[in-house]
Amino acid sequence: MSKKIHWGIIGLGSIAHKFAADLQRSDSAILHGVASRSMEKATEFASRYNAKKAYDSYEKLVNDPEIDVVYIATPHVFHFENTMMCLQKGKSVLCEKPMGIDTQQTQTMIAEAKARNLFLMEAIWTRFMPSIEKMLQLLNEKVIGDISSVHADFGFRTEFDPESRLFNKKLAGGSLLDIGIYPIFLSLLVLGIPSDIHAVARMTPTEIDSFCAMLFHYSTNEKAVLTSTFEANTPTEAFIHGTKGSIKLHRSFHEANTISLDIDGEITVFDLPHTGNGYVHEIEEVNRCIRDGKTESATLPLAFSEQLIKIIDRVKAEIGLKYS
Ligand SMILES: NC(=O)c1ccc[n+]([C@@H]2O[C@H](COP(=O)([O-])OP(=O)(O)OC[C@H]3O[C@@H](n4cnc5c(N)ncnc54)[C@H](OP(=O)(O)O)[C@@H]3O)[C@@H](O)[C@H]2O)c1
């Protein structure tokens, strides 16, 4: 059996719990260490998920020589400094989305990883879902003909709390960066880079977007209609429409277990369950890449993350969203 990859986790919030549970489901991964700003939290987390080491500072974890790769699970605004610290200490990184809060941060992170010959990937777990692989296969086989449009929404209702990660401008809150990234990801995967972007938003008193509607136009005339919101429980589905039919990614499309193909009203349903909480697929990709000495994933390359944040920056400019 080949060497297991030793993982560390920085920032022990809600996503870190789901991710750690999935690390336990991977035969090729070991959760070696976890780091929190609180020792009590780190100790409790380590014992729950069988991590060997618990650290009360992110820096201490990064200095652990046994860790191969660090998963960054802090709020968006800390991804840059946390990732740069890991890379500068020789660690590979899987960084939660969005990798940086703007293009400049993201490009600096990518350049640092490349200069140090270290693995770096944005944790867009959706890219590794069996449902997305099936969707791409159907699109490549032109089963729905030529693509004409992508429609995707992501919305949930949550009370306005100016201090929370979702609404706090200092933590780079807003629906666009937090969940709008998924519809944009899908449009980039399926249609590439838009030539024109139109977007409107509703802003909160904390000056972040609680609702964002986007319309993308492509040079070959396809369209994407995308929304994100913290104001309502929207269907959170996605549709790819083509000249011969449509593909639907069922709720919640970013972790879809089911897709359906509609050709002139004849529906074929594909059940494609993800493993565990859905993070196992991206974990296996990182393990494979690191074991094979790769510095980026061919399935989710760094150039894709750079394009993704460039599109997000264009949307931000349209809606007047600015982070300091
Ligand atoms: N891929 C996905 O499915 C998915 C889902 C949800 C979120 N995310 C991403 O994961 C990241 C974290 O989201 P989350 O929902 O897990 O957030 P969360 O529950 O608020 O946890 C974030 C953790 O970051 C650490 N942290 C460091 N400085 C902080 C500060 N000043 N304020 C608050 N927390 C601080 C804390 O850990 P310690 O106290 O242990 O230091 C905190 O528990 C976000 O970037 C988000 O986009 C991804």
Tell me: do 313 and 174 sit in the same domain.
yes
Tell me: do 113 and 137 sit in the same domain.
no
Select from 292, 309, 288, 155 the least CA-distant residue to 234.
Answer: 155
Cα separations in angstroms, 290 against 26, 252, 280: 15, 30, 15
Tell me: do 168 and 256 sit in the same domain.
yes
> What residue owns the CA closest to ligand 1's atom 37?
11
Q: Is the CB of 37 under 6 A from ligand 1?
A: yes
Residue 67: predicted pLDDT: 98
Tell me: do 135 and 240 sit in the same domain.
yes
Q: Is the CB of 153 under 6 A from ligand 1?
A: no
> What residue owns the CA closest to ligand 1's atom 42?
13
Residue 180: predicted pLDDT: 99
Tell me: do 138 and 259 sit in the same domain.
yes
In a domain, 85, yes or no: yes
Q: Is the CB of 285 under 6 A from ligand 1?
A: no
In a domain, 294, yes or no: no
Question: Got the DSSP string for 221-286?
Answer: S-EEEEEEESSS-----EEEEESS-EEEEPSSGGG-SEEEEEETTEEEEEE-PPSTTTTHHHHHHH
Tell me: do 115 and 147 sit in the same domain.
no
Which residues lie below 8 Å from residue 133, measured CB to CB, with a gap of 6+?
Answer: 272
Over residues 54-80, the pLDDT tens digits come to 999 999 999 999 999 999 999 999 999
Tell me: do 22 and 116 sit in the same domain.
yes
Count Cβ atoms below 10 Å from residue 232 Cβ, excluding itself: 12
In a domain, 217, yes or no: yes
Count Cβ atoms below 10 Å from residue 195 Cβ, excluding itself: 11
Cα of 83 from ligand 1 centre, angstroms: 14
Residue 51 has pLDDT above 70, yes or no: yes
Q: How confident is the model at residue 150 (pLDDT cuts 50, 70, 90)?
A: very high
Over residues 151-204, the pLDDT tens digits come to 999 999 999 999 999 999 999 999 999 999 999 999 999 999 999 999 999 999
In a domain, 301, yes or no: no
Count Cβ atoms below 10 Å from residue 73 Cβ, excluding itself: 25
> What residue owns the CA closest to ligand 1's atom 3?
15
Q: Is the CB of 61 under 6 A from ligand 1?
A: no
Count Cβ atoms below 10 Å from residue 203 Cβ, excluding itself: 15
Contact (CB, 8 A) for 79 and 99 = yes
In a domain, 292, yes or no: no
Q: In this structure, what CATH number is given to the domain that contains residue 107?
A: 3.40.50.720
- Residue 221 class from Cβ within 10 Å (0-12 exposed, 13-18 middle, 19+ buried)? exposed
Count Cβ atoms below 10 Å from residue 263 Cβ, excluding itself: 14
Cα separations in angstroms, 261 against 85, 145, 264, 284: 45, 12, 10, 28
The domain total for the chain is: 2
In a domain, 192, yes or no: yes
Over residues 215-247, the pLDDT tens digits come to 999 999 999 999 999 999 999 999 999 999 999
Tell me: do 117 and 162 sit in the same domain.
no
Query: Please, what's the b/e burial string for 132-151 (b: 16 or more CB within 10 A of its CB; e: otherwise)?
Result: bebbeebbeeeebeebebbb
Question: Domain range for residue 148?
Answer: 130-273+308-319
> What proportion of the chain, given as a percentage, has pLDDT over 90?
99
- Going by the DSSP 8-state scheme, the letter that residue 129 receives in this structure is -
Tell me: do 144 and 217 sit in the same domain.
yes
Torsion of CA 233, 234, 237, 238, to 10 degrees: -140
In a domain, 138, yes or no: yes
- Would you give the end-to-end CA distance of the chain in angstroms? 48
In a domain, 195, yes or no: yes
Q: Is the CB of 74 under 6 A from ligand 1?
A: yes
Tell me: do 135 and 53 sit in the same domain.
no
> What residue owns the CA closest to ligand 1's atom 33?
75
Residue range 2-20: average pLDDT?
Answer: 96
Mutate to test the pocket of ligand 1, among 48, 59, 76, 96 (most ligand atoms within 8 A of CB): 96
Residue 124 has pLDDT above 80, yes or no: yes
> Which atom from ligand 1 is nearest to the alpha carbon of 124?
1
Q: In this structure, what CATH number is given to the domain that contains residue 177?
A: 3.30.360.10
d(CA 144, CA 262): 8
d(CA 32, CA 3): 14
pTM: 0.98
Residue 1 has pLDDT above 70, yes or no: no
Residue type, 138: L
> What residue owns the CA closest to ligand 1's atom 36?
11
Tell me: do 187 and 115 sit in the same domain.
no
Q: Is the CB of 78 under 6 A from ligand 1?
A: yes
Residue 319: predicted pLDDT: 98
Tell me: do 63 and 93 sit in the same domain.
yes
Q: Is the CB of 12 under 6 A from ligand 1?
A: yes
